[in-house]
Structure 1
Amino acid sequence: MKKLIKIFSVLLLLVSAVVTGALATGPAATVSAASSKNVKKVASGTVLKKIKKSGKLVVGLSADYPPLEFTKNVNGKNKYVGVDIELSKQIAKDLGVKCEIKNMDFDSLLVALETGKIDVIISGMTPTAERKKSIDFSKIYYAEKNDYFVINKADKGKYKKTSDFKGKTVGAQTGSLQYTVMKKHGLPGMKVKGLAKISSLLMGLKSGKFDGVLLGELNAKTYAMNDSNLALVKSTLKQDQMGNAVGVAKGQKDLVAAINKTINKCQEKDLFNKKFIPAAAKDMKTATKKSNNSMTKYTSYFVTGLEYTMIITICSVLIGLVLGVIFALMRLSSNKLLHAIAVCYIEFLRGTPEMVQIMFVYFGIGMLVKNLPALVAGIIAIGLNSGAYVAEDIRSGINSVNIGQTEAARSLGLSQAMTYRYVIFPQAFKNIWPALGNEFITLTKDSSLVSTIGVGELMYQTGLVQTATYRGVMPLFITMCIYFVLTFLLTRLLNFLERKMNLSSSRA
């Protein structure tokens, strides 16, 4: 047992050193800022070679921005559609490769590009001066002339011009140009609130959380066209720059040249106005029909989300349980090094937000381990976090066992390992079972956090349904019910096992 713990401690010490060093050099900071100068840059001229070698172009986007990028239900399966999707396919075709879409939160795209998780960003992104510090851009492929405030139609008489939003609360997508514009050139007293998803912003608008939501022209007109309860007010806030471009990692001049060649061809043939936008409008019209908005048509989405949620939960529980036992024993050890490692691990993991840990494992550790899947990264991060809490539960359980039990076992000739296995652990787990059960239930709900890195669990699938149906509340209600049923059944199972343990101990 001691040898096993020492081996684990050495490995964990090495991992801790790597993680600490990585934190000090910047990837964790890029999670929120997405513009760290310390991120390990992609080597010049390597991305196009990687694309050619792999035979696929990995495009990062946030599929909640119709008509540029959104989702459509095709025979129960999710399909990405929109102007940017068509452009992505055209670029991939000209490069002689397949197009792979990776959907994630908009404010995570820059980090994903800088760390090599995606090859390009094609998500209605404007090449601002701040973004150009981190990545390079193609030429402008589509320019929107104006931004618009989306308001509730009932407030149409209240808000007629930009100045009417003075002192009001206005929402915008975090990381978007509109969010930056309001922060820099907003009206006196204007309160700017940012959320990752536009669907969440519009739900906030309808529920009175926001007085308006600032969106780009195409996006704003799309939502207003498909929701009779919304109206638009043209924005006159100062714009530093307008237009959408393809984001590429620094130093990839050959890839930028290839993308610009495709954009030039599309603009010369006027494909945006003749093909891409009409196709997106047709997809939107199909998606917004009442017959296609029924939640029953999206059953497969929720089933897929539930499957991923269960996989994440079960794997994370096993990782957390194993790590919990190891670190509980290390913290109780008389060895100062083992004790110190356990304390650092437990305190650090319990003292930092789980979402930051998930993003750090995916973007930060993912730089060291190439091609780390988002699902694996999410499981590792949640398992590591759970291990810290389970360790403290197990430690308290071990401490609750009377010392006389240990002394009696050792006097009967049992080794330390056998004493823990046959005497201490059975009693400790019985004492802490309610606490462990609570941790497992919490972990089931925490699995929703991995949606931020594009894992297709329940919350991720809910976002797809919201975007595809233009309905915000109903998909959330269904997801909430699924989580309730899941946790309710898990609670009943844990209570049943607890009664069995109590029954077996009373018989003994």
Structure 2
Amino acid sequence: MKRLISSFILFLFQALPSQAGPDPLVVGMELEYPPFEFVADDGTNDGVSVKMAEALANYLGRTLEIQNIKFDALITALKSDSIDLIISSMTATEERRKSINFSDPYVTTGLAMLVPIDSPIKGIEDLMSGKRKVVVKLGTTGESFARSKLKNAKILTMNQDPACALEVAQKKADVWIYDQISIFHHHKQHKETTKALLKPIREEQWAIGIRKPKSGEDDSLRIQVNDFLKKFRESGQFEDLSNTYLQEEKELVRSMGIPFIFDVNPDQKVDLVRGNEDSYTGSDPLFIIIISILVLLTIAAFWYLTREGDNSMQAHDNILRNSLGFVVLWIVLIGVCFFIFSSINRSYHWNWEGIWNRRWQIFGGWIRTLWISFSALVLCIGVGIGLVIGSRCSFKPLRFFCRAYTEIVRGSPLLVVLLFGYYVIAEAFNINGRIMVGILLLALFAGAYLGEILRGGIDSVGKTQFDSARAVGFSRLQTYRYVIIPQAVRRVLPAVAGLFIMLVKDSSLLSVIGAEEFTKRSDIARAATFTGIEGYLPLTVGYLLITIPLAYCSKRLERKFSYES
């Protein structure tokens, strides 16, 4: 018994958190930006920012924990208290300061341009006139600059640096605007097809992102970070990092007469980068009416989908038990929602104004997703029917092609199909229409699944019915039209409806090739306003406004085609 008690006490001591040391310093960064933040060949985190974070954690007497987070999600992570600091080559802009605080700047850099090797573009003046295609990375100051200054340009946003460089290398875009170091590195990867214009078109300053303190909290962490940066610079450690990671870049820019990023005194403030101001402010009755109608229709469709059609009389105790069950269910759901949002609200600074100001931009993306999904749906039906017919024809090579196509497409992720289809196949045929290519690839992908669903439905109809129809004089075409297909449609309708709903949701992946549908427009608005949850909630509701009515229509079709077996 004593041994059991001793073991239990030992377990409690091990389970209780230790109070011996401070909490770890959790730093968020996107480890896809060499030589500042990247993953080395041996799998360890490396780069200028990583070494600076290690030195900062040592200065604060805390252990370091680095979280690899996408750049456009870093501010959301900081606001929600998931991380303590952002050290990810982030420019301190006026728009970002509305959401988070910044330390003193530690780098002064500038925006540069990557253009095709035979491009006539020499400087920013060449972008001010004419209809240029400008590619930018989502959520960066290059995007803010392009949207605010290049009014006549067509702006294309991408999620990854390599995708931006590839757009220029393949001449799908006229210029990529980004920081000097990145432009230099990506030019090295595409020397035969691009050239780098490194003369800065605007100066910027990087700083460490810090969460805004809530009422009653102090701002001691920012004071400590600023003290660290001052001592880090005075001790020459910035110069040591540049010699280790940026030696080639330093020699290049100095030979061009351009100050290196650590050369400029950080106390010399540059003009803050200002985002593009929207004119959509104040109330908007038309928008509210449209959204209210859509929401009410969706709620009605949801009620018809979830209600039970059994109208038989129930015993009094069953009614009471079910009513009590619903009350408990709603109490639990409301309690869970209250707990989630109250937990978020303790550290999160809400900013609905930015999303509201871009409501028509987001709604336009929602409309575009509707017609993308409908167009892909029509083409998908044609592809699926064609595969079924081809797999049952007497020409053996065609049967082989249809079956091989189905298996290859079903075994490939849609993301891979979109990237390979656009950057390889479409490029070979010199097709640059992102929406058109995206619709076609969606249809070809979903068509393989639809073909298998239709084939299974046809095979489920007994062969005896086919033989019986032929015995009474039906032709092969008449047999399929009047006997086989009507029964097959009834059986596959639920699976087909599920596929069509999946097609709507999968259309969000078109954003990886730069197509500005609902998800992409929401990401652009969220990145421009540096919001997080405020952008995800409308995105969730928007897809439900499409998928729930679609599910309701499919349920109506099922009831219309239902029959007694």
**TM-score interval w.r.t. the shorter chain?**
0.5 to 0.7
| Per-residue Cα deviation, 1:228-268 (whole angstroms, up to 9, x for no partner) | xxxxx99968542669x9xxxxxxxxxxxxxx9xx99xxxx
* Pair 1:335–1:160, CA change in 2 (3 A): farther
**Superposition pairs of residues 322-337 of structure 1, within 5 angstroms:** 322-337=382-397
SS where residue 156 of structure 2 aligns? strand
Does the alignment pair 1:132 with 2:188? yes
Match among 77, 82, 104 for residue 158 of structure 2 = 104
SS where residue 413 of structure 1 aligns? coil
Task: State the 1:157 CA deviation.
Answer: 4.4
Does the alignment pair 1:141 with 2:200? yes
Looking at structure 2, the residues matched to 303 and 438 of structure 1 have their Cα atoms a distance apart, in angstroms, of 25
Paired amino acid for 2:164: L
* Pair 1:279–1:418, CA change in 2 (3 A): farther
Task: State the 1:434 CA deviation.
Answer: 0.6
User: What is aligned with 1:58?
Assistant: 133
User: What is aligned with 1:342?
Assistant: 402
* Pair 1:104–1:311, CA change in 2 (3 A): same
Looking at structure 2, the residues matched to 280 and 157 of structure 1 have their Cα atoms a distance apart, in angstroms, of 25
Identity of aligned residues (%): 25
| Per-residue Cα deviation, 1:440-479 (whole angstroms, up to 9, x for no partner) | 1111111111112222211111112212322111111111
Contact kept in structure 1, 2:279 and 2:357, CA below 8 Å: no
Does the alignment pair 1:406 with 2:466? yes
User: What is aligned with 2:176?
Assistant: 121
SS where residue 154 of structure 2 aligns? strand
Does the alignment pair 1:281 with 2:274? yes
Contact kept in structure 1, 2:351 and 2:531, CA below 8 Å: no
User: What is aligned with 1:312?
Assistant: 372
User: What is aligned with 2:44?
Assistant: none
Supply the RMSD in Å over aligned alpha carbons. 4.2
The structure with the larger Rg is 2
**Superposition pairs of residues 6-155 of structure 1, within 5 angstroms:** 45=118, 56-66=131-141, 68-70=142-144, 80-81=147-148, 86=149, 99-107=153-161, 108-124=163-179, 126-129=182-185, 131-134=187-190, 135-141=194-200, 148-152=207-211
Paired amino acid for 2:155: I
Paired amino acid for 1:137: A
Task: State the 1:149 CA deviation.
Answer: 4.6
User: What is aligned with 1:15?
Assistant: none
SS where residue 198 of structure 2 aligns? coil
TM-score calculated relative to the size of structure 2? 0.53
* Pair 1:389–1:156, CA change in 2 (3 A): farther
Contact kept in structure 1, 2:119 and 2:174, CA below 8 Å: no
* Pair 1:109–1:235, CA change in 2 (3 A): farther
Structure 1: runs of 5 or more not aligned? 1-41, 72-78, 90-97, 165-232, 246-259, 265-276
User: What is aligned with 2:344?
Assistant: none
* Pair 1:335–1:131, CA change in 2 (3 A): same
* Pair 1:131–1:347, CA change in 2 (3 A): farther
User: What is aligned with 2:545?
Assistant: 485
* Pair 1:474–1:235, CA change in 2 (3 A): farther
Contact kept in structure 1, 2:355 and 2:526, CA below 8 Å: no
Task: State the 1:282 CA deviation.
Answer: 7.0
User: What is aligned with 2:66?
Assistant: none
Task: State the 1:387 CA deviation.
Answer: 0.4
Contact kept in structure 2, 1:315 and 1:379, CA below 8 Å: yes
User: What is aligned with 1:28?
Assistant: none
Looking at structure 1, the residues matched to 160 and 450 of structure 2 have their Cα atoms a distance apart, in angstroms, of 33
* Pair 1:418–1:281, CA change in 2 (3 A): same
Looking at structure 1, the residues matched to 517 and 273 of structure 2 have their Cα atoms a distance apart, in angstroms, of 26
Looking at structure 2, the residues matched to 121 and 444 of structure 1 have their Cα atoms a distance apart, in angstroms, of 31
| Per-residue Cα deviation, 1:89-113 (whole angstroms, up to 9, x for no partner) | 7xxxxxxxx6332222233112222
Contact kept in structure 2, 1:161 and 1:235, CA below 8 Å: no
Match among 414, 428, 453 for residue 393 of structure 1 = 453
* Pair 1:468–1:408, CA change in 2 (3 A): same
Task: State the 1:119 CA deviation.
Answer: 1.8
Does the alignment pair 1:439 with 2:499? yes
User: What is aligned with 1:468?
Assistant: 528
Paired amino acid for 2:131: K
Paired amino acid for 1:70: S
Contact kept in structure 1, 2:144 and 2:275, CA below 8 Å: no
User: What is aligned with 1:173?
Assistant: none
Looking at structure 1, the residues matched to 530 and 205 of structure 2 have their Cα atoms a distance apart, in angstroms, of 23
SS where residue 352 of structure 1 aligns? coil
* Pair 1:418–1:117, CA change in 2 (3 A): farther
User: What is aligned with 1:458?
Assistant: 518
| Per-residue Cα deviation, 1:364-398 (whole angstroms, up to 9, x for no partner) | 22223334311101101111110011011011101
Looking at structure 1, the residues matched to 390 and 462 of structure 2 have their Cα atoms a distance apart, in angstroms, of 20
Contact kept in structure 1, 2:137 and 2:143, CA below 8 Å: yes
Looking at structure 2, the residues matched to 300 and 44 of structure 1 have their Cα atoms a distance apart, in angstroms, of 38
Paired amino acid for 2:446: S
Contact kept in structure 2, 1:144 and 1:242, CA below 8 Å: no
TM-score calculated relative to the size of structure 1? 0.58
Looking at structure 2, the residues matched to 46 and 145 of structure 1 have their Cα atoms a distance apart, in angstroms, of 26
SS where residue 122 of structure 1 aligns? strand
User: What is aligned with 1:197?
Assistant: none
Looking at structure 2, the residues matched to 367 and 105 of structure 1 have their Cα atoms a distance apart, in angstroms, of 20
Contact kept in structure 1, 2:184 and 2:196, CA below 8 Å: no
| Per-residue Cα deviation, 1:123-147 (whole angstroms, up to 9, x for no partner) | 3352345641313312332697985
